Structure 1
Amino acid sequence: MRMVTVLLLAALLTAAGLTGPALARTAPLVTAKEVYLVDVTSGTVQFAKRETRRAPVASLTKIMTAYVVRHSASLDDVVTVSRADVRHAASSGATRAGLRAGERLTVRDLLYALLLPSGADASNALARRYGPGVQRFVAKMNRAAAALGLRDTVYTNPDGLPQTGGDHSTARDQVALARIVLKDPVIAAVVRTPRHAVTRTGAHRAHAWHNTNRLLPGEAEGLKTGYTRAAGYCLMFVSVVGGHTMVGVLLGDTSDAARYRTARRLLTTATARAAPRDV
């Protein structure tokens, strides 16, 4: 009877799309459609659910935008925000950093505007400058994805907004990208910052940008949130538990609150696995 129960449980987990270590242990309840969690310290997969299924990733796209900018620009470069940048974010109903036409900001500050409030105005300004032009910038994003071995990743814009053309990635590819960008000390510092302020310059008001990642501060050290109707609620996160660095990605969760519940359950389970055991 016990063997039958075990086999039935394994069959149910497989049908739910769970693979790897999750089959051998009690799996945390997750509501996201695709999930991948890796213990970078030990090199082990802690949880996997449809991790190779292609899906839209919403504003997680902006992590690649930041990566390309870091390879194209100096942090002290000054970019002038255009009316088109502001109009792009406003007309699409995207999240904005509150940039104003004519405003001059450094690339360093625009990275905060891009990654904390997830400003589509900032992504457009950076892409327009460092493509040059948005289409050329997207081509750079796709070349970078190919060079980094992200074989199931295609970008159609620098902000992750729905667009005809079929942009997609996978939870596994996004974890791989997260591990790469965390090696960049600038991006790593930006994504773990809860709040960044820009003092008033010239005729323009100051900015105060808050990180949309509600695991900060304390539960995580970055990275990025994302949402569109097509992608659902997405989250890329990194956390240190029990001396182990965990990098995870959730795609297609059911609500803003659900993605954080899922992440916390995954981290709680990973903490228990990483804890030393009496022998």
Structure 2
Amino acid sequence: MITAIKGVRVRRAAAVAVTAGAVLATGALTAAPAQAVATPTIAAKTGFVMNNANGAALYNKGMDTKLPTGSTTKIMTANVVLSQANLNLDAKVTIQKAYSDYIVANTASSARLIVGDKVTVRQLLYGLMLPSGCDAAYALADKFGTGTTRAARVKSFIAKMNSKATALGMTKTHFDSFDGIGSGANYSTAKDLTKLASNSLKNANFRAVVKTKSYTAKTITKTGSIRTMGAWTNTNTLLSSYSGTIGVKTGSGPEAKYCLVFAATRNGKTVVGTVLASTSVTVRAADATKLLNYGFARLG
């Protein structure tokens, strides 16, 4: 009787051991906790990623280092425009020769706006954020600045950009241009730009623009006819390469190198981040991909 009971116990123990071994082999009991995910290495000089829900930092590499921002500056341009009281997105702006001359003088990225055409504010926002049009940025600054001269209006618009930065707690940021082509005093940090992106994404119109891969504007010519513009393609390649991407904006330049402010949503969770001074267009996307993967892994 006693021997039989012992035999049952031995068999049960052996079965438990076999089951446990099988579980361990499949990894069911050894899944690494989220906080144990290996921290990625990126080529960018600085990087920052946060949980959009509460602002909690998920990754940091030199997040408070001040660096040139290139066209990621245009996130603030869009933010200021979309923050205007009683904004009419269908209001028309006539494209001035000054905007075209500015593009030529600075060899700047362009939405290829045609002098004399009437373009809506909504279309200018797409021209600003997709092909990174500095002509669109100039038009918006001229439209939404205040003053009797174009120079005064642009100056006041840039002042609005800096006021908004202060209001958002972007303590290590300063803008001296509406598009990132400044005079050496246009800088921010990976953390500040991430904070700006998070705030901007609260606006439905901003979200609609920055998640768009391609947009074709129909403008009104001097003679009143309709001009179908060439399609504007979003320079943010993550929209095609990373599932769940919802924005935000690229930037580049001799001083800024290659920058990207990015955001993605998966399983109801949104991660927002920035890489500044990466080494190429391809590498900045790879850097952002690593940081998004890491961010989501940290969130679990």
Tell me whether the two structures share a fold, i.e. TM-score over 0.5.
Answer: yes
Aligned residue type for 2:45: K
Output the TM-score relative to the length of structure 1.
0.86
Distance 2:126 2:216 in 1: 9
Shift in Å, 1:118? 0.5
SS in 1 for 2:113: coil
Query: What is residue 215 of structure 1 aligned with on the other side?
Result: 238
Aligned residue among 51, 71, 94 for 2:108: 94
Q: 1:260 aligns with which of 269, 285, 288?
A: 285
Q: Does structure 1 residue 80 correspond to structure 2 residue 102?
A: no
Kept in 2: contact 1:103–1:204 (CA 8 A)? no
Name the SS for the 1:226 alignment partner. strand
Q: Distance in 2 between matches of 1:41 and 1:94?
A: 36
Given that 1:241 and 1:270 are in contact with CA atoms closer than 8 Å, whether structure 2 keeps it comes out as: no
For 1:221, the aligned partner's letter is I
Match of 2:163 among 118, 129, 143: 143
What residue identity is the alignment partner of 2:269?
A: H
Tell me the number of residue pairs that the alignment of Structure 1 and Structure 2 aligns: 253
- Aligned AA for 1:272? A
Distance 1:159 1:26 in 2: 36
CA distance in 2, matches of 1:44, 1:54: 21
For residues 35-84 of structure 1, give each alpha carbon's deviation from its aligned partner in whole angstroms, at most 9, with x where no partner exists. 00002236432110000011111101101001111123421211101000
What TM-score do the two structures reach when normalised by structure 2?
A: 0.80
Q: Is the contact made by 2:271 and 2:296 (CA closer than 8 Å) also made in structure 1?
A: no
Measured in 2, the distance between the counterparts of 1:237 and 1:67 equals 16
Pair 1:243–1:79, CA change in 2 (3 A): same
Q: Identify unmatched segments of 5+ residues in structure 1.
A: 1-22
1:273 aligns to what?
Answer: 298
Question: 1:196 aligned to 2:215?
Answer: yes
Q: Secondary structure at the match of 2:263?
A: strand
1:24 Cα deviation (Å)? 6.9
| 1:3 aligned residue | none
SS of 1:152 mapped into structure 2:
coil
Number of the residue aligned with 1:205:
227
User: Where do residues 38-77 of structure 1 align in structure 2 (5 Å cutoff)?
Assistant: 38-41=50-53, 43-72=55-84, 73-77=87-91
Q: Contact 2:216 / 2:228 at 8 angstroms: preserved in 1? A: yes
Contact 2:130 2:232 in 1 (8 A): yes
Question: Counterpart of 1:13?
Answer: none
- Partner Cα separation in structure 2 for residue 110 and residue 151 of structure 1: 29
Q: Where do residues 121-200 of structure 1 align in structure 2 (5 Å cutoff)?
A: 121-132=135-146, 133-161=153-181, 163-199=182-218
Greater gyration radius: 2
CA RMSD of aligned residues (A): 1.9
User: 1:74–1:170: structure 2 CA closer, same or farther, 3 Å change rule?
Assistant: same
Q: Quote the Cα distance in structure 2 between the aligned partners of 1:272 and 1:177.
A: 23
Extract unaligned runs of 5+ from structure 2: 1-34, 147-152
**For the Cα contact (< 8 Å) 1:234–1:250, is it kept in 2?**
yes
Identity of aligned residues (%): 39
For residues 36 and 193 of structure 2, the distance between their equivalents in structure 1, rounded to whole angstroms, comes to 24
